[in-house]
Amino acid sequence: GRRYHCFHFYSLDIEEEVETRLRTEQRMRTEIEDNRFYNVYQPIIHSGQHDTIYAEALCRWKNSSGKEVPPDDFIPVAEETGLIRELGRRVLRDACRAINSMQEAGHSFITISLNISPVQLANPDFVDEVRAILTEENTEPEHFIFEITESAVMDHMASSIAVLEQIKDMGILIALDDFGTGYSSLSYLKKLPIDILKIDKEFVADMTTDGQDRIFISAILSMARALQLEVIAEGVENAQQAAILNEMGCRYLQGYHFSAPVSFDKMVELSTSQGLKASRSIS
């Protein structure tokens, strides 16, 4: 009857999903070694001083069949299997090398923002691993921002704070990613040693049509000002959004309006070019 029918489809779905996950996992294991994972970088535009370039590093996987697998498909698998630890080390190492090459070429100071998974944060070796990679690569911690999410710290508040404090003591800044979507409890803001809030793109997307979203953003900005936190708005897709955010006093903007994530070289080129400078000074 109907019950059986439902069960049947349900179990098929699960079977299919398990198989896809397994395939993804096996593939990831070999293809991490084959260097099929790499970083792309999305510029973060700053409306004040222009002597620092900011960008977020985002991981990409072009698999052996030539298919671009989106991070939303492979990051969860990497987290479940623990592969995120190896992936995270590679993302950091790549970023170090990119930073070094840029500093050697005599460009402006660069700050790279990296996403840190809850699984990495919960790993007791995390801080030592970060320190070891920075030492090996000879890259200053001051070049980095680590992005975490509320869900990363929720379950292990005390130990997470301890880890973040150690990261901060090294000279790395901490950003709270996707702010506004998760639990966004004010108690997190009080307890966590964060420097930056990243307003989720969901709010920015509806800002021009939804007055309430605009009110939320403005509230986040005044709260951040009072707490002396910087704010980065994500997902800025058009000039109108950029102009409103600028007017509201949001100093860091990121999104397709300025640039999609691109190769490191392209990002440096864009960040130093007239085009991006022009869109920086909309106000």
CA–CA distance from 65 to each of 27, 30, 36, 68 (Å)?
Answer: 11, 13, 11, 9
Gyration radius from the chain CA atoms = 20
Q: Between 150 and 178, whose beta carbon lies closer to ligand C2E?
A: 178
* Residues forming the site for Mg ion (CB under 5 A): 115, 147, 177-178, 234
Minimum separation from the CB atom of position 101 to Mg ion (A): 23
Residue 237 binds ligand C2E (CB under 6 A): yes
Minimum separation from the CB atom of position 91 to Mg ion (A): 12
Asked whether 57 and 91 are in contact (CB, 8 A), the reply is yes
Out of 178, 214, 270, 280, the only residue in the binding site for ligand C2E (CB under 6 A) is 178
Out of 177, 179, 199, 232, the only residue in the binding site for ligand C2E (CB under 6 A) is 177
Residue 261 binds ligand C2E (CB under 6 A): yes
119 binds, among Mg ion, ligand C2E, none (CB under 5 to 8 A by kind): none
Phi-psi region of 192 (alpha: psi -120 to 50; beta: other; left: phi over 0): beta
Tell me how far the alpha carbon of residue 164 is from its chain's centroid.
Answer: 16
Q: Between 27 and 149, whose beta carbon lies closer to Mg ion?
A: 149
Minimum separation from the CB atom of position 187 to ligand C2E (A): 22
Minimum separation from the CB atom of position 198 to ligand C2E (A): 7
Residue 68 binds ligand C2E (CB under 6 A): no
Out of 24, 145, 167, 255, the only residue in the binding site for ligand C2E (CB under 6 A) is 255
Out of 28, 59, 98, 163, the only residue in the binding site for ligand C2E (CB under 6 A) is 59
Q: Which stretch binds ligand C2E (CB under 6 A): 47-55, 68-76, 165-173, 183-191?
A: 68-76
Asked whether 77 and 24 are in contact (CB, 8 A), the reply is yes
User: What's the rounded Cα separation, in Å, for the pair 164 and 166?
Assistant: 5
Q: Between 213 and 234, whose beta carbon lies closer to ligand C2E?
A: 234
Binding site for ligand C2E (CB under 6 A): 42, 58-59, 70-72, 75, 91, 115, 117, 147, 177-178, 201, 234-237, 255-256, 261
